[in-house]
Structure 1
């Protein structure tokens, strides 16, 4: 029997077909002897251009479409597939609605909104040169005030005693909550590989593996 593995990376999407070469009944995973039958990699190419230099988002639906096409390619070619394993870029999140449909882009692990400086606990999301329009006499005053703020990840560390990084799913989610960026129809969020799993199985609620839950 064969196993398909799909990896959704930031720049590429990869797939592999493995076959167990051990004859007879297998009682433990340690007894498996897996060999690569075929491997295939395609370009991700799903980044969405934005006006913010700190924002790193991708088209989640297009990513899943490419991953599904790669999966279908293997399934059509190999009839004796027993399992499909999914992995992918950590920390990035996509919002889904009550029907299990994607309602947002994929906010990737490279997103830097958690590093933006904040005022009074609310991330401002502004670039340094955003104050040019108010006049030169005000620029220094605003910049001095801004340096007194802290980034979202610094705020989380101070208040929760947790060390996080920009791009972590909950960091992105907190920023989006504060800036009303969460789609009104969203009921949950998950990683991109969780969403692929939902699309492959018809689930309406994401099933997040523990290895993806520490973000």
Structure 2
């Protein structure tokens, strides 16, 4: 009776350049202990310069490779059908001057966006009118309203993004993190559809 091997491919992994991709790097394996040790070190792909920075390991390729080396196995794939291997080249540390320049650019851009929004909705006139309704006096700069409003605006932004530098207030993801996650999922799906050589070769097969 053939032994059953359960495989669950990881959605995405990061690896160093020019290293062999082993089964243990891209998948979780469930089978007998002796067989598991043999399968985990099975090489599936050798990263070369031609791969650039993305390699797609298809589940069909993994099953075919296992059947070639161990014909008696009953391989059952669970979960994702492909694994994206992100090849990480040597990265240089970012210059503090570049980091400061990007931070300054984002700070000025965010400040301009907030000021333009307040100008469009006539926030200053609203605060002046609110001051007149509460005190009966006309004042061009009602600081007792404007200062708490500015502080509350900054605190609201911190709570909205759920971060203060590296500190997270709770485990709930911020709206920005959710949008980045959705964008990354869409990007990964696009890569799987357009970079999967197994499906491309199958589509080109006239049979």
TM over 0.5: no
Larger relative helix fraction: 2
**Rg: which structure is higher?**
2
TM-score by length of 2: 0.32
